[in-house]
Amino acid sequence: MEKIIGIGNALVDVLVRLKEDSVLEQMQLPKGGMMLIDEARQKELRACMEGLQVEQSTGGSAGNTILALAHLGGEAGFVGKVGRDALGKFYAESQKAAGIDARLLKCDLPTGVANTFISPDGERTFGTCLGAAATLQASDITPALFEGVSMAHIEGYLVQNHDLMETICQTAMEMSVQLSLDLASYNVVASDLPFFRHLVQDYIDIVFANEEEAAAFTGQKDPLEALRQIAALKCLAVVKLGSKGASARLGHEEVMVKANRVPVVDTTAAGDFFAGGFLYALNRGASLKACLSCGALLSEHIIGVVGTRLPEEEWNSLTQTLSKREGI
């Protein structure tokens, strides 16, 4: 298989299961929301977490996609920025343990953290401190990062730094590396739509979007029309439809798969794991329908656990299942 790298925010997910929501009030976090916080607030949150049960794992959208790809046996790498601290070491060691070629840059800021508070009713509240991840810049992107790579998967959250995105895309093009883009969030797309359209029209080979992101990109078109409108920009378009399944279109070929009904514990990384499964199958020369099925299978498994860690035996079962599927 050819190597696929992810480029995005290198974050450590710190997951806390709450016994009661009063802790959120104490930390001044609106339940169900996502708040970007600075380093001072991050220290306050850490103090509030003392005595609580805490789990941590590597995170970030592109990082999650590459994690899924690597666990399936794909040749995977990741480009991001971490701090020279314990969490940065944890991030690097975790990626190495997963078989990921971690091409991590470092700076003196703390490693980025996505604090995830899980309420008794299952709802998640986020306090995210980007830290070192936010300092990834155009000057960090060199041809060496793309050596031996066939495709780079970029998370849309990086689009807010136009110089960085232009440099990533231009360097990848010079190195004959295909580009995959996850639109990340409907509000990010809506706030920077002209630049997103420029990227897709001029650089991107594969676009991943959920229903809301696809609507924001196309002017509130329904999912099917949005799929066709994105594909008309001469890329492979993939629109994730949640419990209804997923669809893809390339040129005149259009396919859809339905989703199986499974218990939902936590939707964290569902879209990221879908992209990982899709790219894994695509890299093996699978049909569009087989790629969608592979992505859907990973999504169904990851929403059954808290966070992004699946037991090793479950990964073994997944790879065995996929090995028996025709065309993968």
Task: Find the CATH number of the domain harbouring 206.
Answer: 3.40.1190.20
Query: Does the structure show a pLDDT above 90 at 154?
Result: yes
Q: Number of folded domains in the chain? A: 1
Classified as helix, coil or strand, 1 is coil
139 domain residue, yes or no: yes
Expressed as residue numbers, the domain containing 92 is 3-9+61-106+135-323
319 domain residue, yes or no: yes
Interhelix angle 270-283/61-71, rounded to 10 degrees, is 50
220 domain residue, yes or no: yes
Residue among 189, 155, 149 nearest 171 (CA): 149
Task: Please tell me which of 16-20, 54-58, 82-86 the model is most confident about, judged by mean pLDDT.
Answer: 82-86
The tens digit of pLDDT for each residue in 195-211 reads: 999 999 999 999 999 99
127 domain residue, yes or no: no
Classified as helix, coil or strand, 241 is coil
251 domain residue, yes or no: yes
pTM, full prediction:
0.91
Q: How confident is the model over 292-300, as a mean pLDDT?
A: 94
- Alpha carbon of 205 to those of 181, 187, 263, 302: distances in Å? 8, 22, 33, 26
What average pLDDT is seen over the chain? 92
DSSP 132: G
- Side chain identity at residue 150, one-letter code: S
Query: Does the structure show a pLDDT above 70 at 109?
Result: yes
Classified as helix, coil or strand, 108 is coil
The tens digit of pLDDT for each residue in 6-26 reads: 999 999 989 888 888 888 888
Q: How confident is the model over 120-141, as a mean pLDDT?
A: 90
CA atoms lying within 13 Å on the CB side of residue 173:
11
pLDDT, position 326: 66
pLDDT, position 194: 97
Query: Does the structure show a pLDDT above 70 at 172?
Result: yes
Give the C-alpha separation, 267 to 258, whole Å: 18
Q: What percent of the chain has pLDDT over 90?
A: 66
Query: Does the structure show a pLDDT above 70 at 43?
Result: yes
- Side chain identity at residue 268, one-letter code: T
Query: Does the structure show a pLDDT above 90 at 130?
Result: yes
25 domain residue, yes or no: no
200 domain residue, yes or no: yes
Q: How confident is the model over 79-98, as a mean pLDDT?
A: 96
User: What are the tokens at 295?
Assistant: 């992505």
299 domain residue, yes or no: yes
Asked whether 95 and 69 are in contact (CB, 8 A), the reply is no
Residue among 14, 95, 27, 94 nearest 55 (CA): 14
User: What are the tokens at 152?
Assistant: 């780079």
DSSP 326: T
Q: In what order do the strands lie in the sheet with 76-83?
A: 100-107, 76-83, 3-7, 149-155, 178-182, 206-210, 236-240, 246-250, 253-257
The CA-based diameter of the chain, rounded to the nearest angstrom, is 57
